[in-house]
Amino acid sequence: MDVDAIAWWLDWVVRLVNVATLGVGLVTFATVAHHRRVVRRFFGSRSIEVWVPARRLSGRVAVDEADLLALQTLTAFLTRYRVKVRNRFIAPDGTFPLSGDGQVVVCGPKSSQIIARAMASDPSICFAQDGDSWVLQDVQEGRSHPSPMDGDQTDADMAYIGRVHRAGRPDQRFLAVAGLHAPGSAVAVDHLCDYRVVRELDRLYRGSAFSAIVTGEFRRDPLQVLTSEIVVSRSWAA
């Protein structure tokens, strides 16, 4: 093969490599853009406020370790998908300006009456008291889901995830996350901060109200979520 023929073949090889590289780049760009759209659609906006409760301890205002971990995990996950995140803190008395638009609230009904009223709109899953302990009640199945922390004292908890609406305003929806105990919130957020989970929940409940019960194990000192999974999830009409 003469020099001209070799040069011709090399030129074509270079062109094919360039086309393949461009194709891979376009596919990657499209995939990343699609993932961002899914995450933004599920969480409700490309600009999100993440709320966690501030608590008054020994005369000082503090944030529980589990709530702080949930806040950090959510912020890192949303930022990865180019969602602008603003960290906000619910007052110790449970009050905060709930708008329902572009908000993720990591707080249970025990800590805020605003959240209690919002969660009361959920006909599928609710917080209920069983003696001195709280449980998550699957209303449809008539089954209670207690926290393992209240039974055999294992490091595991149950938590609620739901797209609920502001009391009296079904058009203003937000994501609510709440554990039966503080570590449960970190467990729920850990499960939610997985693109595969978000994609599946978005596929199942796009645009509709829904709620789910999540369970998982954790390790203490420092707090670290080890496992998390959804036990049950359902959509419901707002």
What backbone torsions phi and psi does residue 178 show, to the nearest 5 degrees? -155, 130
Unique residue bearing structure tokens 């180019």 = 82
Beta-carbon neighbour count of residue 106 at 10 Å? 28
Indicate the number of domains in the chain.
1
For residue range 89-125, list pLDDT tens digits in order.
Answer: 999 999 999 887 799 999 999 999 999 999 998 999 9
The answer to whether residues 128 and 180 touch, using CB atoms and an 8 Å cutoff, is no
Residue span of the structural domain in which 143 resides? 3-236
pLDDT at 114: 94
Peptide bond into 222 cis (omega under 30): yes
The residues near 28 (Cβ < 8 Å, ≥ 6 apart) are none
Using one digit for the tens of pLDDT, what is the confidence trace for 158-204? 999 999 988 778 778 899 999 999 999 999 999 999 999 999 999 99
Q: What is the pLDDT of residue 165?
A: 87
Provide CB contacts within 8 A for 209, sequence distance 6+. 121, 122, 162, 163, 164, 165, 173, 235, 236, 237, 238
